[in-house]
Amino acid sequence: MVGASYAAVPLYRRFCQATGYGGTVQRRESVEEKISRHARDGTTTSREIIVQFNADVADGMPWKFIPTQREVRVKPGESALAFYTAENRSSAPITGVSTYNVAPMKAAIYFNKIQCFCFEEQTLLPGEQIDMPVFFYIDPEFETDPKMEGVNNIVLSYTFFKVNDS
């Protein structure tokens, strides 16, 4: 049972990435391949997208977890860097792991994380505070997809869960 619960996070991650379930970004072409392809093609965009950041902690997780900035403005084809801050407010070391989603779900296929802290265990000592980067890229095809018409805001949301000591 312990093994099954420990394996749940990576299995859930793979399921979400394969299916796009819950607004999780599906993987097809690598981000590096997309950037190279659009650079070769000379793709340019003019539309500005507001990416808003949300942070939550699950019940029983004694951390303060917040986005360092509320939002960034980015054009499709550009990469951007954002930070989240986590602080352990308990008197004991706590290990947590985060999951994420992108809303609206239909925009998730265009939202590519280059670097992220999600699905990686983070251990914070009592009172410790860390900044965690998220480096992302919005595919320029976002701008030409008729389904994205009227989508001017994307929300990147993370939830941290406590990893049980077993």
pLDDT in tens, 136-157: 989 888 988 999 999 999 999 9
Residue 64 belongs to domain with CATH number: 2.60.370.10
Q: Cis peptide leading into 104, omega within 30 of 0? A: yes
Query: Tens of pLDDT along 109-124?
Result: 999 888 888 888 999 9
Q: How many domains does the chain have?
A: 1
Residue 20 lies in a domain: no
Residue 88 lies in a domain: yes
Q: How far apart are CA 84 and CA 64, in angstroms?
A: 10
Q: How far apart are CA 164 and CA 166, in angstroms?
A: 6
- The residue range of the domain holding 146 is 43-162
Q: How far apart are CA 77 and CA 75, in angstroms?
A: 6
Residue 32 lies in a domain: no
The residues, any chain, with a CB within 8 Å of residue 33's CB and separated by 6 or more, are none
Q: How far apart are CA 59 and CA 34, in angstroms?
A: 38
Q: What is the model's pTM?
A: 0.74
Residue 111 lies in a domain: yes
